Structure 1
Amino acid sequence: MLRLSRTWRGPRGPFGSPAPSFSGAPVAPSSGGRGNAEPRPLPLSYTLLDGEATLPAVVFLHGLFGSKTNFSSVAKAVAQQTGRRVLTVDARNHGDSPHSPDASYEAMSQDLQDLLPQLGLVPSVLVGHSMGGKTAMLMALQRPDLVERLMAVDISPVATTSVSHFAAYMTAMKAIVIPQKLPRSQARKLADEQLRPVVQDMAVRQFLLTNLVEVDGHFSWRVNLDALAQHLDQIMTFPPQQQAYPGPALFLLGGNSEFVQPSHHPEIRRLFPQAQMQTVPNAGHWVHADRPQDFMAAIRSFLA
C-alpha cells in the first residue's frame, strides 16, 4: 500500500523554536478569519494511503486534542478492506500542522477546502469525530460539491458545552511543570501525575499525553493551548447555517455518551435531511477507540 505523508515544517524545525512557556507553539501566518471574507488556509500535515482513484476517498478528521494518528489503524483497515484512498489529517493547532491564532470552524473548513482539491480527493467521504465532525458538517454545508457523503461521530450541529470537561483539561495542561533534560518516560510520568487530580480517567489522560513533545530537552504541548482555550466556547458551539446538505449523512453516536441529545435531532434533520442515526452500545464519546470493530462495521455499511 502506497503511503504519502506531508508534515508542515516551520523555519526552525518541526515545532518552531523552543518556547519560553510550557504551552508554546509554532505559529503560521493567519488572517485571523475575522476581517476578511475567508480565513487564510494553512498547509496541513496529512498521511494519504493509496487506493482506487475512481472511488471517493475517505477522509478522517480527529477531535479536540487529537491528531491524524488517532485513526491510523482504522485508516489502514478501511484502505485494505474497501480499496479506497484514505486520508488522515492534522487540524490546524494540532499534531504536526501549523499553529494559528484562528481556531474557528470557518478556518478549519477552509483548510480542507484548500487541501482536498490539491490532492485530487473531491468529492470525498468525510468521517469526523467531535470537533472534526463539526468541521466536516460545516464543509458539507458550505461546499456540498466537495463532499460525497458525511459521517459525524458522536457530535451534532448544536452546542455541546454542558457535557465537556475540556476547559478543565486545558487549565490542568497549562499548569504542568516539567524540568528540562528529563528522559521522556519520566517526563510523561510526571505529567500524568500532575494531570491525575483533574483528569481522573486514565484513558483520557493517556490521550492528552500523546500531545507531550520534547524539543532540545524542553517539554511542551504540540497543541496550541492558547488559541484553543481562547476559542473553546466557539469550538463547543456550531456556526449558524441556513442551507441544508442534500447528500447521505450518518450520525454515529456512543451509547454511553451525552454529547448528542434527543433535543439535537430536529436541527440534525433540518440541516441534514438524509441523516441516519446509529448508536454504538457500550461506547463513550471516543467511539472509534472504545468499539473499533463496531466503528469499522458502521463505516463499511455506510460506504456500501
Structure 2
Amino acid sequence: MMLLHSKILGNSNKHILILHGFLGSGDNWISIARKLTENNFSVHLIDQRNHGRSFHSDEFNYELMCNDLLNYISYYKIKNMILIGHSMGGKTAMKFSLKYPKLILKLIVVDTSPKYYPIHHQYIIDALKKIDFNFLNSRKKIKSELEKCIKQEGLISFIMKNIYWKEEGVLDFRFNLKSLSDNIDKIGEELKSDKKFYKEVFFFKGEKSHYILDSDNELIFNYYPNSSIISISNAGHWLHADRPDEFVSKLLALI
C-alpha cells in the first residue's frame, strides 16, 4: 500500500484532515493548521498523489484519490474526522463523503462545487512544460521563464514553492507534471452519485471568486441537504491565503 505523505501538527484526538488544490501541497495550509492546533485540534496536511512529497503515479482520478485517503485514515486509525478540501481537494473530499459518510463528522468544501468545470489550467501546464531543468539551474532563471507565460505574480510564487533541489545542481518540480498533464481533463469532473450526505457541510466561497455561483445551489443542496454557504469578503479562489484570519475565525465558529 502506498501511503500519502503528510505533516501532522498537534496531538489532540480531534482530527482535521486538509486536502490541497491542483499543483499545491499540504504546506500551502501550514499557517492555517497552526491556528487550528491552538484550538485543540490535530491537523493532517496531506499531499495528494502526484503532489508534494507523495508518491507519483501515471493514474490520477478522484476515485483513486478517495482510495488513497481511505488508506491514510485506516493507517492512522482516524475516526470522526473533520475533512477540509480546497478546489481539487474539495472534489476529493466531496466524493469521499458520499462514499464513506460514517467516517466524517463535518465536511468543509473550499471554493469549489459538485459541478463540472471546463479545463482552465492548460496555459499553466503549457508554461511548466517549457521549463527545461537541464538548462535552467537556478530559481531566478526558472522564475524569469515562467514570467514569459504567466502574468499573475501570486500564481508564479505558488508554483515556485513546488521547485526543489532533486540532486546537487539539478532542480525539479515536486508534482508529477506528466501525469497531471495527461489527466488534466479529470480535474474538473462533475461529482456523480445517487447518494446524499446528511451531516453538516460548509461551503466557503471567495467573494471575488467565480467557482461557486448562486446557480450552483440546487446541485449543492441535492447532494448535501444540510449545507451552508459562507462567503469570505474581498477574497479570491485562494481565500484561505487572501483572508486567513476571517477564514479561520468563521471556520472555528462552525467546528
- The aligned residue for residue 48 of structure 1 is 8
Alignment of 1:47-196 (within 5 A): 47-53=7-13, 55=14, 57-80=15-38, 82-161=39-118, 164=120, 166-179=121-134, 182=137, 187-196=138-147
1:160-198, Cα deviation, whole Å (9 max, x unpaired)? 226x3x11101100111244594xxxx211111111132
Moved over 6 A (4+): none
The separation in 2 between residues aligned to 1:177 and 1:232, in whole angstroms, is: 21
Matched residue SS, 1:100: coil
**Count, aligned residues:** 254
Q: Is the CA contact (8 Å cut-off) linking 1:94 and 1:224 kept in structure 2?
A: yes
Letter in 2 for 1:66: G
Q: Is the CA contact (8 Å cut-off) linking 2:105 and 2:199 kept in structure 1?
A: yes
The separation in 1 between residues aligned to 2:30 and 2:98, in whole angstroms, is: 27
Q: Which runs of 5+ in 2 are unaligned?
A: none
Matched residue SS, 1:161: coil
Matched residue SS, 1:122: coil
Matched residue SS, 1:87: strand
Against the structure 1 CA distance between its residues 100 and 301, is the aligned structure 2 distance closer, same or farther, given a 3 Å change threshold?
A: same
Identity %: 30
Work out whether 1:207 is the aligned partner of 2:158: yes
Q: Is the CA contact (8 Å cut-off) linking 1:180 and 1:219 kept in structure 2?
A: no
- For residue 188 of structure 2, the aligned residue among 236, 242, 254 is 236
Measured after TM superposition, the shift of residue 266 of structure 1 is: 0.8
1:106-129, Cα deviation, whole Å (9 max, x unpaired)? 111111111112212222001110
- The aligned residue for residue 30 of structure 1 is none
Q: Is the CA contact (8 Å cut-off) linking 2:49 and 2:65 kept in structure 1?
A: yes
Q: Is the CA contact (8 Å cut-off) linking 1:46 and 1:88 kept in structure 2?
A: yes
Q: Is the CA contact (8 Å cut-off) linking 1:105 and 1:239 kept in structure 2?
A: no
Q: Is the CA contact (8 Å cut-off) linking 2:116 and 2:191 kept in structure 1?
A: no
